[in-house]
Amino acid sequence: MSFLMGPALLFCPADRPERYQKAAERSDAVIVDLEDAVAPADKQRARGAILAQLGSAGDVPELDPSRTIVRINPAGTEEFEKDLHCLKHTPYRHVMLAKAESAAQLKELDGYSVIALCETAAGIVNAAAIAAEPNVVGLMWGAEDLLASLGGTSSRTDDGGYRAVAVHARSTVLLAARAAGKEAIDSVYVNIPDLDGLAAEARDAVASGFGSKACIHPNQVAVVREAYAPSESDVAAATELLDAAAAAGTGVFQYQGKMIDGPILKHAEATLRRAGRP
């Protein structure tokens, strides 16, 4: 299994079906949210909304299943069981498991491609074991729920940067995902008006190795896409470097006064992949 969505994933409350298509049009993939975005009293109505937008045969959905993820409630809860019952009657097979905490929980989602959302202390500590599960295609981390699980009050300092424990969690999830050959998705940026702050964080996500970033508002999508799209000069430089490597025919060579080896070539290859170049 592999994860081919992104780079801008947009959350949409499941109980707001009038927003489904708009979210799909404005993003690279939609995360239809049955968890935090829906009040407890409205969860059954939200599941009904997902079912209501299917065709009479249950196989012609309003949303493209290849670009749709359904965030379900945590394993072990009554809402989790109800979410799975709902999904059995849909063509959606990409799910995001909220508050994933152990590899055992993923076994309950056999048949689904799962993004495990590690957003509690247990989830972060067990990220490597979770990522190793065959049906897991990616890991995402969540800052605010993590700090709440620790008894903290805020994931960020007064200057807007993450606290040390949040930085550690972010790095842990990224390393666990990539070590297992899975996708790594960066957390949402909750200060919606601060597009400059989002841009800086998205650029850091790209540079660090996150394959995509989640958004909570349509206005954030363009900022994330721009961060992930290499400039023409970046593409040209990467192409020239790889051409030089092919001509050199050696593991290590000198190019423009610098020593070039495998890791630097991988950076160039990643740039071309983000640009959609072969």
Mean local confidence (pLDDT), 213-226: 97
Which amino acid is located at 75 in the chain?
Answer: A
Q: Are 138 and 7 in contact (CB under 8 A)?
A: no
Measured CA to CA, the distance from residue 192 to residue 254 in angstroms comes to 45
* CA-wise closest residue to 242 among 209, 275, 195, 212: 275
pLDDT tens digit sequence for 56-115: 555 567 899 999 999 999 999 999 999 999 999 999 999 999 999 999 999 999 999 999
pLDDT tens digit sequence for 158-194: 988 999 999 999 999 999 999 999 999 999 999 999 9
* CA-wise closest residue to 15 among 66, 56, 53: 53
Cα Rg, the chain, nearest whole Å: 20
Residue position matching structure tokens 């995509």: 212
Residue 75 vs residue 276, higher pLDDT: 75
Which amino acid is located at 233 in the chain?
Answer: S
Residue 206 vs residue 240, higher pLDDT: 206
pLDDT for 195: 97
Give 4's pLDDT tier (boundaries 50, 70, 90).
confident
Residue 276 has pLDDT above 80, yes or no: no
Q: Report the SS3 class of residue 114.
A: strand
pLDDT tens digit sequence for 166-175: 999 999 999 9
Mean local confidence (pLDDT), 131-140: 97
Residue 247 has pLDDT above 90, yes or no: no
Query: Partners of 96 in the beta sheet?
Result: 71, 115
Mean local confidence (pLDDT), 192-220: 96
SS (H, E, C) 124-179: HHCHHHHHCCCCEEEEEECHHHHHHHHCCCCCECCCCCECHHHHHHHHHHHHHHHH
Residue 54 vs residue 105, higher pLDDT: 105
How many residues are recorded in the chain?
278
- Percentage of the chain beyond pLDDT 70 is 88
pLDDT tens digit sequence for 250-274: 777 777 877 776 766 666 666 666 6
Distances 173 to 111, 116, 128 between C-alpha atoms, Å: 23, 10, 8
Residue-averaged pLDDT of the chain = 90
